[in-house]
Every structure is written in structure tokens, then in C-alpha cells.
Structure 1
Amino acid sequence: MPTRADRPYGSFPRGRPDAVAEPGASPSPQRERIGAVIRRALPWGAALAGPALLIAISLAPVPAPEDVRPSPTPTPAISEVYAKVAPAVVQIKTAKPDGTLVEAGSGVVIDEAGDILTALHVVQGWPSVTVIFADGTQSRAVVIAQMAENDIAALRPATPPAQITAATLGSPSTVHIGDDAIVVGNPFALTRSLSTGVISGLNRSVQIPGQGRTLTGLIQFDAAVNPGSSGGPLVNRDGDVVGIVTGLVNPTGQPAFSGVGFAVTIDTAAGALGLPPD
């Protein structure tokens, strides 16, 4: 039997040392059972991991596609509309037999040749007509076409300016009641004056006093017009000409604005020159 001297203090830890398995010895039955349980459990865990991951992916929120819409084109300001059309507006003066010029009305340049649309009653019966462009250029003009049934005349200047600004013609089919009505003209010789209102009616008919003729298919508006405004352009919010101002209605018979103005549609007016709007 070994003595204390044969086992010096510190050779073994306190308590009974674990048995050391002999090399090649079989594991204990208990360890075999634990290992079998672990081996049997692993396939189930691996099998469950796939569905769990699939469920997690399926339940993850899918971002909705963005509803990308183009931004609406901003409506031009009235000042921008005026800046577009005013350079195309002309002042029309007629001459008495003695050569004295008389303020007559307005007109609008509609092509690069400098041809002008105006109201026929502005120039009819006068021996000569003078037009004054926005840059101050003055020129004699002649009537090259007229449509008495629509109170429309087309003028051609003898000496147009070197740089001509023509208005853009719109389409009356785009005009609706309640739309903006913008008029630029020369009321009371106040050159290129701006007035605004709304479109009040469409396809109106008006009898011309003292002439026994009726104008039809007119645009009614409430932008202010006065003597000198006739022949000027009625413009939409895009700055396109949709009509030529022909007159106003006043229940007193006076040539003063009472809230009702009329314009010949631009498709009818441009027909005097064979120029249907774009």
C-alpha cells in the first residue's frame, strides 16, 4: 500500500480524481445516450430553420411602388402673358382727307411678314391707314382682305420693322366659360393697355347697330374694353390669341364698357388670310 511519502502533497487535486479512460476504451452508456439524443435532434433543428427563414422573409413588409407623377406645368403669371403678346399689338390710326391722323383702334401681328388682324369697322371707309408697332415703327398699311360678315380685316404694312414679333394663335376649342380672358389694346389711345376678366359665354350673336347685320359665333367676356380696344387680341392664360375684339354692348347706347365685350374667334378671323390656327 502506498504511503503518504509516496503521494506528496499537491500531486492530486482534493477529492477523488476522475477515472482516466484507457486508450481504445468504449464510452460509457450514459454518454452514448446523450450523443444519440443530440444527433437525433439536429436534423429537426436544421429542417425547422428553412421554413422559419422563409416565413420571416414572406412576412417582411414589401415597399409599395412609388407613384411617380410628373409635376403639373405651372400656369404663367398674367405679367408673363402680357410680356408675350404685347410686342405683337399695334396701334391703328386712320387719316382724315386733310391728312390728320385719328386714333382708331388696335390690331395684332400674326405672321413674320407683319400682316395684321383687326376689326373691319376700325379701318373701313378711311382713305389711309397707319399702323404703329411696339418698337415705335410707323408704316402705312393697306387692307388686303376683309370679312364683313365677321367684322374682320387683314392689313399689310408697307414698311414693317426689321424685327417683327408675331403673336401665337391658339384654338377656340380650348376656350371654356370661366377661363381667364386677357385683352391687350389701345383704349382711349392708351397704348398696349391690359385688362383681365373671364370668359362669360360662347357662341353669342350680336346685331351691329345701324348696319342690320348680325355677328355670330362670338366669345363673350367681361375684361374691360373701350373705344380703341376694337381689333386687339383676346388672349388665353398661355398667351395665345383666341379671338379678335370686335365690340361691346352698352344698354344706354353709349360707347362705354358695361361689363360685356365680344370677340370673333381666331379661327374665323385668321380665315381672312387663310391662316387657320395651329
Structure 2
Amino acid sequence: MPRPAVYSSSRPTRRPAPAMADTPAAPAPQASDTQPTGELPSGATAGPQPRRQLQALWAMVLVLSALLVASLWQQQRPTTRKITQDDIDAAVLRTLQTTTPPSAAARAAESIAPSVVRVVGYGRSKNGKEEVERGVGTGVVIVDKGTILTNLHVVLGSDRITVTFHDGMETTASITGAQPENDLAVLQAHKVPDDLEAAALRSTQDLRPGDHVVAVGFPFGIGPSASAGVVSGLKREFTSPEGKRQLSNLIQFDAAANPGNSGGPLVTLDGEVVGIVTAILNPTPARTFIGIGFAVPIENAASAVSMPPF
């Protein structure tokens, strides 16, 4: 008779626990497909937990890298230092040592230059056929509409008067006022530049001998020229060599002035007009500058055009 087939159980063979005295045998555990916690069957791979740990590690690496880059950039970036007074003083000193600033006289001349004009008076020659220069002098614009102060002796007896402005524009002018006792004439230019500037006028009440002044004009027609000096005296009197002019209450100065400077401004180092140059004293026939010049105070000059007193 054939023997029945015998199948081996898929369950592991359990060894019988040793018998313990007086202890009932524990029931055999039921078969289950669930593996004990913490154990992996042979050939199984890691689940989501290790993957999250790997991602966290990379994130930490990236954070550390960013912190390192930021630290290096902060070290290389130039730091802003607060500027102190010592820094400013050092910069000013360095500028003074490397740059030559213009003199006070140069600044004064530059300030008044746009208001200074060349004045020429023309007349007829002896035969009456040709126009010739009768006088060359200087003028200063005191109203930007073209009102100009000059010396009366520069334009007296002229048939035609021309003025040349700082920008080179030349035009004719008319005498609109005169003050013979101060050798002053008021001219009105027939045309004016669009950007014409009037000079700043300053009272002579605080003017003192020794104050620095600058005379600007066209000596012998050359210019504009500037010369510097000081106020030598106040309330001086002058009589022309021919005895035709007697002037009083004049400013005496020693800035060089020659024929052609007549009618030009005498200015302070601030570029403000305190007088109108009118004469030089030279006992010799040369009639050139030997160190004494005279100017009409601007108060007298302003009254010639009915300007209010200071």
C-alpha cells in the first residue's frame, strides 16, 4: 500500500522549551506576517526615515556654505568710516598746498569786469572831413538797462560816443546827465547785451586810509586792465594843470592809473564800487602816474543819476 505524501511545514521548527517544574506551558504564538519592530527581512531596503535624514544633511551643508560666503563677503567689503574734523582739516591743508587760489585783487577785478566798458568820444578833424578820436576812457554800468557813469572830460565835445561792453558788443551812447563840479557824465547805451550786469555800489563812510582797492579801466586804451593799491587819503582836493578843473572831497589812492583810466571804477576787494577814477597828479608835462590818483566818491557819482543816497 502506497505511503501518504508528507509535506514539510513552512513554519520554522520550534524547539520545545525545557519543562519547568510546576509552570504551565505557554501557548505557542500565532503565526503572523508582521515582522517584529526594528528588524528588516533579508534583502529589504531602507524606508522614508533615512531619506529624510539625508535631505536634512544636505540642507545643513547648504546653510553652512551660505554662512561661509556671507562671512567672506563681509570681510572683503570696505567699511565706511565716519569723517572727522581732522579729516576735513587734512583735506583743506592738502588743497591749499597743491592749489594756488586767486589773489583778493584778482577776485575783485573779476567781479567788476562784466560792468566795465570802454568809452570813446569821436569828433571831426580840423578840416571837418574825417572822424577822429577825441578821448578814450572807461565807464561802469550802474543800471542794467545801460546807464553808465564816466568822466565828463572823456566825452565832452564829442559828436559821437561809443561804448564797448565786456562781451565785445559795441554800440553808440548819448549823454543823459552831467555833473561838471565832479567831472561826471551819465551815458545811456542805445543797445545792451541780454546778460548785462550792473556794478554793486558801496558807501565810503567806512572807508579808511590803508584799505585795499583796485582800479579797473583802459589805460592808454589797453584793457580792461587792473591795478591794486590802497586808499592813501580822503577828502582831498585837485586842480588840473590848466586850472580848468577844481575838484574836492576826493579819494586819494596809489593803485596805478593813467590816461584812459578816467571814468573807471575804484573798487574794494569785495568788488564793490566806492569811487570813479577821475584824475592823476603829476607835476611834470608827462602826465603819467607817479603814485597819486584821485577818485570821486560814489555818493557824489550816484547823485548824478538821481540815485538814492546810501
User: TM-score, normalized by length of structure 1?
Assistant: 0.70
Aligned partner of 2:228 among 162, 180, 196? 196
* Paired residues of 1:170 and 1:277 also in contact (CA < 8 A): no
Q: Superposed, which structure 2 residues align to 1:238-277 within 5 Å?
A: 238-276=270-308
- Name which one, 1 or 2, has greater alpha-carbon Rg: 2
* Paired residues of 2:257 and 2:293 also in contact (CA < 8 A): yes
**Separation (CA, whole Å) in 1 of partners of 2:246 and 2:290:** 20
1:134 counterpart = 2:166? yes
Question: Per the alignment, in what secondary structure is the counterpart of residue 96 of structure 1?
Answer: strand
Hey, what does 2:110 align to over in structure 1?
A: 83
Aligned partner of 1:114 among 146, 169, 173? 146
Aligned partner of 1:181 among 184, 206, 213? 213
Hey, what does 2:240 align to over in structure 1?
A: 208
Q: Deviations over 1:66-110 (max 9, x none)?
A: xxxxxxxxxx82222111101110001111322344551000000
Hey, what does 1:162 align to over in structure 2?
A: 194
User: How many pairs were matched up?
Assistant: 204
Tell me the CA shift for residue 212 of structure 1.
3.9
Question: Per the alignment, in what secondary structure is the counterpart of residue 195 of structure 1?
Answer: strand
* Paired residues of 1:266 and 1:277 also in contact (CA < 8 A): no
**Separation (CA, whole Å) in 1 of partners of 2:217 and 2:121:** 16
**Separation (CA, whole Å) in 1 of partners of 2:309 and 2:228:** 23
**Separation (CA, whole Å) in 2 of partners of 1:190 and 1:274:** 31
Structure 2 unaligned regions, length at least 5: 1-102, 125-129
* Paired residues of 1:143 and 1:156 also in contact (CA < 8 A): yes
Q: Identity over aligned residues, as a percent?
A: 45
Q: Superposed, which structure 2 residues align to 1:22-61 within 5 Å?
A: none
Tell me the CA shift for residue 251 of structure 1.
1.6
RMSD: 1.6
Q: Deviations over 1:187-230 (max 9, x none)?
A: 01111100001100000011123244420000000000001000
Structure 1 unaligned regions, length at least 5: 1-75
**Separation (CA, whole Å) in 1 of partners of 2:106 and 2:258:** 21
Distance 1:252 1:100, change over 3 A: closer
Q: Superposed, which structure 2 residues align to 1:68-107 within 5 Å?
A: 77-97=104-124, 98-101=130-133, 104-107=136-139
**Separation (CA, whole Å) in 1 of partners of 2:175 and 2:145:** 14
